[in-house]
Amino acid sequence: MKPTKKERQAKLQDTIESNPFVTDEELAEQFQVSVQTIRLDRMELSIPELRERIKHVAEKKMVDEVKSLAIEDVIGEIIDIQLDKSAISIFDVKEEHVFTRNHIARGHHIFAQANSLAVAVVDEEMALTAKATIHFTRSVKLGERVVAKAKVFPTEKKDRMRIQVESFVGTELVFKGDFDMFRATAR
């Protein structure tokens, strides 16, 4: 039995609160309704469209805290960052990021998003990738949104940091990387 409109809207609100980066299309699929129904539900609940939600999250965070590279050098858009702890970025796969024949994202774009996020999270004027171990778990396609999440782990070396980055499309893991980062000044 299908949930009532009120029940669907309550679940929709909970879903968006837990993942503000979910698209209307993903929501429509999840709730087995049309995209238009999702948009009408959002309007009734005064939930802004995805772009506005992302902008709101980004404004709440201080992305100008990033020291190790210019924000415009980050591949994707940083939406959350806690230097030397964690960071999140989003990357929308467009025509210029995919192979013409099959519309699959070129791997270097997915890697570049993860690597630049690993550099950005380091609280130093300069951070460089010393070593990276990466694993692609599935192809990313044209039109998909990749959410990369970086987590910093301590190391025994003061001039090094270990950063794990996991990238997702929706809830599906598409990339995982472990980055050994060199930091310019030891703390």
**Polymer length of the chain:** 187
User: What residue spans define the domains of the chain?
Assistant: 5-56, 63-183
CATH topology of domain 5-56: Arc Repressor Mutant, subunit A (1.10.10)
For the chain, what is the largest distance between any 2 Cα atoms, rounded to a whole number of angstroms? 61
d(CA 19, CA 110): 21
What is the reported pLDDT for 186? Answer: 45
Supply the DSSP symbol for 106.
Answer: P
Q: Per-residue pLDDT for the chain (187 aa), expressed as one digit of tens each?
A: 788 999 999 999 999 888 888 899 999 999 999 999 999 999 999 888 877 777 666 655 554 567 777 767 789 988 888 899 999 999 999 999 999 999 999 999 999 999 999 999 998 888 899 999 999 999 999 999 999 999 999 888 888 999 999 999 999 999 999 999 998 764 4
What is the reported pLDDT for 61? Answer: 53
Residues 6+ apart with CB under 8 A from 4: none
What is the reported pLDDT for 69? Answer: 75
Bridging pattern class, strands 86-92 and 127-136: unpaired
d(CA 169, CA 158): 34
Start-end of H helices in 94-170: 107-120
For 158, phi then psi, to 5°, come to: -70, -25
**Closest to 17 (Cα-Cα) out of 43, 60, 47:** 47
Please, what CATH class does the domain formed by 63-183 belong to?
alpha beta
Whether this prediction's pTM lies above 0.85 is answered by no
- Token reading at 41: 């539900």
